[in-house]
Structure 1
Amino acid sequence: MALKWYTVVVDCHDPQAQVHWWAQALDWDVVYDTPDEAVAIPKGMSEDPVDDVEEWMARGQGLVFVPVPEGKTVKNRLHIDLAPHTSQDRDAEIARLLDLGASRVDVGQDDAAVTWTVLADPEGNEFCVLSTRNR
């Protein structure tokens, strides 16, 4: 049996602003919000305990934001990839993220040759919007 990938933890200056930005970007729910930790999970994902290990393993991951004193100085070594479904308008989703406060980022990609767009959240954490897909 494998371990469950439970959360991704993001170091940041303002956990409350970050958790609410990401919850809005992903249409997730904020389920915990204190000065020391803020958590968002996919809508509809229960916080109730689950006794069945297979059901527990099938749950999605959450995002946890914790405060750190230092600022971000280099490109992230780990980032999140977001993918629109083939029925969604990818460019409209990118525009929505930019309207929410994301910014375009150059991490060395050749925009003419790649099928993804690199953006950063309001604190500068890079993430990608991939090409549309249905699997």
Structure 2
Amino acid sequence: MIVVQYVTFDCAQPYELAAFWRDATGGEFHPETKKEDDEILLQGGGVDLLFIKVPEGKTVKNRLHLDLAGSAGTTRDEEVERLLGIGAKVFADRRNPDGTGWVTMLDPEGNEFCVCRAAHEYA
């Protein structure tokens, strides 16, 4: 049996991108984190995320992305607004008039992720 240890982001600015995802997910920096590190580990927030500095920039659509959903008490639409406030951008709004659908967003380095309805919104 094997387990997923981290979801890793190749990026230009590991600390800055990790700070965005910390604010997005509620995760915390590993206790030994230094702002100038080329590898930054963000723990908690559902899954541990690792940010590694690479020389090349993002050039194509992600082949893997995160789907996020609000926790109890927040909705998809509230989370979209909150994420916009911390630096995300809307890439494609796929919300439907009946409340279904999702919003594809971009983090500060252009990585796609989706914001879906929370479990309590399906009731």
TM value normalised by structure 1: 0.76
Comparing 96-105 with 30-39, greater Cα deviation is found at 30-39
Three-state SS of the structure 1 residue aligned to 2:119 is coil
Query: Which residue of structure 2 lines up, in the alignment, with residue 127 of structure 1?
Result: 113
Identical columns (%)? 38
> Which of the pair has more CA radius of gyration?
1
Once residues 38 and 122 of structure 1 are traced to their aligned partners in structure 2, the CA distance between those partners, rounded to angstroms, is 16
CA contact (8 A) 1:5 1:61 kept: no
Query: Which residue of structure 2 lines up, in the alignment, with residue 87 of structure 1?
Result: 73
Please give the root-mean-square deviation of Cα atoms over the aligned residues, in Å. Answer: 2.2
Runs of 4 or more above 3 Å deviation: 109-114
TM value normalised by structure 2: 0.83
Once residues 115 and 97 of structure 1 are traced to their aligned partners in structure 2, the CA distance between those partners, rounded to angstroms, is 17
Query: Which residue of structure 1 lines up, in the alignment, with residue 40 of structure 2?
Result: 38
Amino acid at match of 1:64: L
Three-state SS of the structure 2 residue aligned to 1:105 is strand
Three-state SS of the structure 2 residue aligned to 1:91 is helix
Once residues 89 and 131 of structure 1 are traced to their aligned partners in structure 2, the CA distance between those partners, rounded to angstroms, is 6
Please list every run of 5 or more consecutive structure 1 residues that lacks an aligned counterpart in the other structure: 44-59
Aligned residue pairs, count: 116
Query: Which residue of structure 1 lines up, in the alignment, with residue 91 of structure 2?
Result: 105
